[in-house]
């Protein structure tokens, strides 16, 4: 192995074993030191290349409800935000959005929404059934928050392939402050259930949350190392004017990219989105996340009439852009930095289809 490749795998090997205190110090140092960040990003890029080459998978994102029963301090959709506009998409509207996505070439869809009691187990399984019936060649990902294990099992039986449930922050104290009436233990329980039920599981966290330190971020790395999720969503915190965290500074691009690189090195085969939030804090944020180790993008398929009502934070990009515009936009952005948009299902590289079929 040449010296450069050696150094790159070296970072990955080191990070897999590094004591959590040291991970915290590394995150702190790499946030301040561009050269150290550059070294991590180069190593992250190299390990991603090894498993996924220069392909970046696309997931068509359908934000199907802006109702939510929770009160997460950072989120614009929190229940008590009376200024939030609420909407729900019915089965037909959701399937129509998938159809548009399918015509644009997408073979992977994500249904995301707040925790909305309107969507009962029955309604959701009917939606999943319909989508998997009409698009059997597509992967279906759910992202609808905490449900019972029995619900997760029903959704899986109905054909859902993947589930995204960011852990948000792995520091129990910070978690508790940000999530009134929710529990860190239940969050973990959900992720464990999803894993046991055979989903490809996505965890993830925000960077730059008010009060978050580098040791909190190291705890996120430790959590990811233990859980070994297939996917990890990492984005900067961005304030929303209608929340108690309005006026707080957003997470930094630099630190967000450090975390993408570190997670890529810890989980070389993972699927890491270049998130909408990172594209919101910087015009070229998504491209830079890809260069630091990300390999997924999630262009929006939500009907335009509802798009701006799904306001998790201020300034969210793409709210006025058609699905086909975003499809072309993101492909062009990736191409300019040497990556290729891959529209196939985009399973984790260790995923076996037999397991996927249950
Ligand atoms: N800033 C950044 N990300 C946010 N999310 C919710 N609110 C914000 C915010 N203000 C993220 C959470 C959630 C995902 C759907 O969006 O991590 O899991
Ligand atoms: Fe939506 Fe660029 S990806 S406008």
Q: What is the pLDDT of residue 17?
A: 95
Cβ(307) – ligand 1 distance below 6 Å: no
The alpha carbon of 145 and the centre of ligand 2 are apart by a number of angstroms equal to 25
Distance CA 191, CA 290 (A): 26
The alpha carbon of 334 and the centre of ligand 2 are apart by a number of angstroms equal to 12
Cβ(271) – ligand 1 distance below 6 Å: no
Query: For residue 264, how far is the Cα from the chain centroid?
Result: 14
With a cut of 60, say whether residue 353 has pLDDT above it: no
The number of the ligand 1 atom at minimal distance from the alpha carbon of 164 is 18
With a cut of 70, say whether residue 199 has pLDDT above it: yes
Asked, for residue 76, whether it belongs to a domain, the answer is yes
Q: What is the average pLDDT across 184-201?
A: 98
3-state helix, strand, coil in the chain (%, to 5): 45, 15, 40
The number of the ligand 2 atom at minimal distance from the alpha carbon of 299 is 3
Burial of 213 (0-12, 13-18, 19+ CB in 10 A): middle
The overall average pLDDT reported for the chain is 96
Asked, for residue 351, whether it belongs to a domain, the answer is no
Q: What is the pLDDT of residue 122?
A: 98
- Pick the more confident residue, 129 or 7: 129
Question: Which strands make up the sheet holding 162-164, listed edge to edge?
Answer: 60-65, 108-113, 139-143, 162-164, 200-207, 231-236
C-alpha to C-alpha distances, 63 to 144, 175, 278, nearest whole angstrom: 10, 24, 18
Number of the ligand closest to the Cα of 241: 1
Q: What is the pLDDT of residue 293?
A: 98
**Contacts of 226 by beta carbon, 8 Å cutoff, 6+ apart:** none
Phi first, then psi, for residue 335 (nearest 5°) are -60, -40
Asked, for residue 357, whether it belongs to a domain, the answer is no
Asked, for residue 225, whether it belongs to a domain, the answer is yes
Distance CA 221, CA 263 (A): 7
| CA angle, 102 then 106 then 109, to 5° | 95
Asked, for residue 305, whether it belongs to a domain, the answer is yes
**Number of structural domains found in the chain:** 1
Q: What is the pLDDT of residue 154?
A: 98
**Contacts of 332 by beta carbon, 8 Å cutoff, 6+ apart:** none
The alpha carbon of 75 and the centre of ligand 1 are apart by a number of angstroms equal to 6
Nearest of 84, 77, 212 to residue 145 by alpha carbon? 77
- When pLDDT is cut at 50, 70 and 90, the band that residue 357 belongs to is very low
Q: What is the average pLDDT across 18-33?
A: 98
Q: Mutate which of 75, 166, 276 to test ligand 1's pocket (most atoms within 8 Å of Cβ)? A: 75
111 bridge partner residues: 62, 142
The alpha carbon of 321 and the centre of ligand 2 are apart by a number of angstroms equal to 7
The alpha carbon of 168 and the centre of ligand 1 are apart by a number of angstroms equal to 8
Containing domain of residue 243, as a range?
3-346
- Could you give the percent of the chain with pLDDT greater than 90? 95
Q: Mutate which of 62, 65, 68, 74 to test ligand 1's pocket (most atoms within 8 Å of Cβ)? A: 74
The alpha carbon of 311 and the centre of ligand 2 are apart by a number of angstroms equal to 16
Are 296 and 344 a contacting pair, CB within 8 Å? no
Pick from 9-18, 118-127, 184-193, 278-287: least confident = 9-18
Are 278 and 256 a contacting pair, CB within 8 Å? yes
The CATH number of residue 198's host domain is 3.20.20.70
The alpha carbon of 187 and the centre of ligand 2 are apart by a number of angstroms equal to 31
The alpha carbon of 144 and the centre of ligand 1 are apart by a number of angstroms equal to 13
Rounded to two decimals, the pTM is 0.96
Are 112 and 63 a contacting pair, CB within 8 Å? yes
Asked, for residue 104, whether it belongs to a domain, the answer is yes
Burial of 129 (0-12, 13-18, 19+ CB in 10 A): middle
Q: What is the pLDDT of residue 9?
A: 73
Asked, for residue 122, whether it belongs to a domain, the answer is yes
- Pick the more confident residue, 264 or 3: 264
Cβ(64) – ligand 1 distance below 6 Å: no
Query: For residue 234, how far is the Cα from the chain centroid?
Result: 6
Q: What is the average pLDDT across 117-128?
A: 98
Cβ(266) – ligand 1 distance below 6 Å: no
Q: What is the pLDDT of residue 352?
A: 72
Q: What is the average pLDDT across 218-244?
A: 98
With a cut of 50, say whether residue 339 has pLDDT above it: yes
Asked, for residue 355, whether it belongs to a domain, the answer is no
Q: What is the pLDDT of residues 81-98, one digit of tens each?
A: 999 999 999 999 999 999
Distance CA 114, CA 53 (A): 34
Q: Which residues line ligand 2 (CB under 6 A)?
A: 299, 318, 321, 325-326, 329-330
**Where would I find the beta strands (DSSP E) of 82-230?**
108-113, 139-143, 162-164, 200-207
Q: Whose CA is nearest to atom 6 of ligand 1?
A: 75
């Amino acid at each position: 192995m040449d010296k450069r490749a050696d150094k790159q795998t070296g970072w990955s090997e080191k990070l897999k074993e590094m004591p959590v205190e040291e991970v915290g110090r590394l995150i702190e140092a790499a946030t301040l030191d561009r050269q150290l960040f550059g070294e991590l990003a180069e190593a992250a890029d190299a390990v991603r290349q090894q498993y996924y080459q220069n392909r970046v998978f696309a997931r068509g994102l359908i934000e199907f409800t802006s109702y939510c029963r929770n009160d997460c301090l950072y989120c614009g959709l929190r229940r008590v935000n009376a200024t939030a506009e609420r909407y729900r998409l019915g089965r037909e509207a959701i399937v129509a959005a998938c159809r548009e996505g399918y015509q644009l070439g997408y073979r992977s869809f994500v249904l995301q929404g707040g925790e909305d009691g309107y969507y009962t187990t029955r309604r959701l399984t009917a939606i999943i059934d319909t989508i998997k019936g009409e698009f059997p060649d597509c992967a279906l990902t759910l992202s609808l928050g905490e449900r019972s294990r029995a619900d997760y099992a029903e959704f899986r039986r109905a054909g859902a392939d993947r589930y995204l449930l960011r852990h948000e922050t792995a520091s129990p104290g910070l978690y508790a402050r940000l999530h009134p009436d929710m529990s860190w233990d239940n969050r973990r329980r959900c992720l464990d259930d999803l894993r046991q039920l055979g989903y490809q599981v996505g965890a993830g966290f925000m960077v730059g949350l008010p009060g978050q330190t580098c040791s909190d971020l190291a705890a996120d790395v430790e959590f990811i190392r233990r859980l070994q999720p297939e996917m990890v969503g990492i984005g900067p915190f961005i304030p929303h004017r209608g929340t108690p965290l309005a006026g707080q500074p957003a997470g930094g691009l630099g630190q967000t990219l450090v975390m993408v690189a570190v997670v890529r090195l810890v989980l070389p085969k993972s699927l890491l989105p270049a998130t909408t939030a990172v594209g919101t804090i910087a015009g070229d944020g998504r491209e830079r996340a890809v260069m630091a180790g990300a390999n997924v993008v999630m262009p929006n398929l939500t009907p335009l009439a509802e798009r701006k009502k799904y306001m998790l934070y201020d300034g969210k990009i793409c709210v006025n852009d058609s699905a086909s515009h975003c499809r072309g936009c993101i492909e062009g952005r990736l191409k300019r930095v040497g990556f290729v948009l891959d529209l196939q299902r985009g399973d984790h590289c260790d995923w076996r289809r037999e397991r996927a079929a249950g």
